[in-house]
Structure 1
Amino acid sequence: MAKNLEETVQRLRGSIAPIVTPFDEQGNIDEQVLVDLIEWHIASGSHGISVTGTTGEPSSLTLKERERVMEIAIRTARGRVPVVPGTGSTNHDETMHLTKLAQEMGADAAMVIVPYYNKPSQHALYKHFKTVADAVDIPIIIYNIPGRTAVNLEVKTLARLNEDCKNIVGVKESNKDFEHVNRVLLCCGREFLLFSGIELLCYPMLAIGGAGSVCATANVVPDKVAEMHNAWFEGDVERAQQLHYELMPLNDVLFKDTNPSPLKAALGMMGKITPKLRLPMDLPTEELQQEIRSVLERYVTLPEQVNK
Structure 2
Amino acid sequence: MSIAEAKERLRGSIAPIVTPFLENDEVDYKTLEQLIHWHIESGSHGISVTGTTGEPSSLTLQEREKVMETAIQAAKGRVPVVPGTGSTNHAETLHLTKLAQEMGADAAMVIVPYYNRPSQHALYKHFKTIADAVDIPIIVYNIPGRTAVNLEVKTLSRLKEDCPNIIGVKESNKDFEHVNRVLLACGRDFLLFSGIELLCYPMLAIGGAGYISATANVAPEKVAEVYNAWIAGDVKRAQDLHYELMPLNDVLFKDTNPAPLKAALGMMGKIYPKLRLPMDLPSPELQQEIRAVLEGYGLLSKAGSGER
Q: Counterpart of 2:27?
A: 29
Rounded Cα–Cα distance in structure 1 between residues aligned with 2:282 and 2:77: 36
Q: What is the aligned counterpart of 1:146 among 137, 144, 152?
A: 144
| Structure 1 residue 252 corresponds to structure 2 residue 240 | no
Counterpart for residue 61 of structure 1: 59
Instruction: State how 1:3-18 maps to structure 2 within 5 Å.
Output: 4-18=2-16
Aligned to 2:108: 110
Report the 3-state secondary structure (helix = DSSP H, G, I; strand = E; otherwise coil) of the residue aligned with 1:302.
coil
TM-score by length of 2: 0.98
Counterpart CA distance in 1 for 2:211 and 2:298 is 22
For residue 88 of structure 1, the aligned residue among 86, 89, 107 is: 86
SS in 2 for 1:278: coil
SS of residue in 2 equivalent to 1:297: helix
Note the residue ranges of structure 2 that are not aligned, 5 or more in a row: none
For residue 7 of structure 1, report the CA deviation from its aligned partner: 1.1
1:282 and 1:144 map into 2 onto residues whose CA distance is 24
Q: Decide which of 163, 172, 175 is 2:173's aligned counterpart.
A: 175
Among 74, 77, 81, the residue aligned to 2:75: 77
**1-side partners of 2:181 and 2:6: how far apart?**
25
2:296 pairs with 278, 295, 298, which one? Answer: 298
Deviation at 1:4, TM superposition (A): 2.4
Q: Distance in 2 between matches of 1:17 and 1:128?
A: 26
Q: Secondary structure in 1 aligned to 2:245?
A: helix
Aligned amino acid, residue 171 of structure 1: V
Give the C-alpha shift of residue 303 in structure 1: 3.6
TM-superposed CA distance for 1:224, in Å, is 0.1
In terms of mean alpha carbon deviation, does 174-183 or 293-302 score higher?
Answer: 293-302
**1:219 aligned residue:** 217
Show the counterpart of 1:136.
Answer: 134
Q: How far apart, CA to CA, are the structure 2 residues paired with 1:301 and 1:280?
A: 28
User: Number of aligned pairs?
Assistant: 306
> Equivalent residue of 2:296, what SS?
coil
User: Offset of 1:305 from its aligned partner?
Assistant: 5.9
**Identical amino acids, percent of aligned pairs:** 80
Contact 1:9 1:139 in 2 (8 A): no
Give the structure-1-normalised TM-score.
Answer: 0.98
Q: Which runs of 5+ in 1 are unaligned?
A: none
Cα distance change on mapping 1:301 and 1:183 into 2, 3 Å: closer
In the aligned structure 2, how far is the partner of 1:121 from the partner of 1:90? 14
Task: Note the C-alpha offset of 1:191.
Answer: 0.4
- Residue type at the aligned position of 1:101: L
Do the aligned residues in 2 keep the contact of 1:271 with 1:303 (CA within 8 Å)?
A: no
How far apart, in 1, do the equivalents of 2:164 and 2:299 lie? Answer: 46
**CA offset at residue 306 of structure 1?**
5.4
CA–CA distance in structure 2, aligned partners of residues 4 and 172 of structure 1:
19
The residue that corresponds to 2:155 in the other structure is: 157
Is contact 1:126-1:157 (8 Å) kept? yes
Q: Is residue 3–residue 167 contact of structure 2 (8 Å, CA) maintained in 1?
A: no
Aligned residue for 1:209? Answer: 207
Partner of 1:261: 259
Equivalent residue letter for 1:83: V
* Residue 129 of structure 2 corresponds to residue 166 of structure 1: no
Q: Is this contact kept in 1: 2:196–2:213, CA < 8 A?
A: yes
The residue aligned with 1:271 is 269
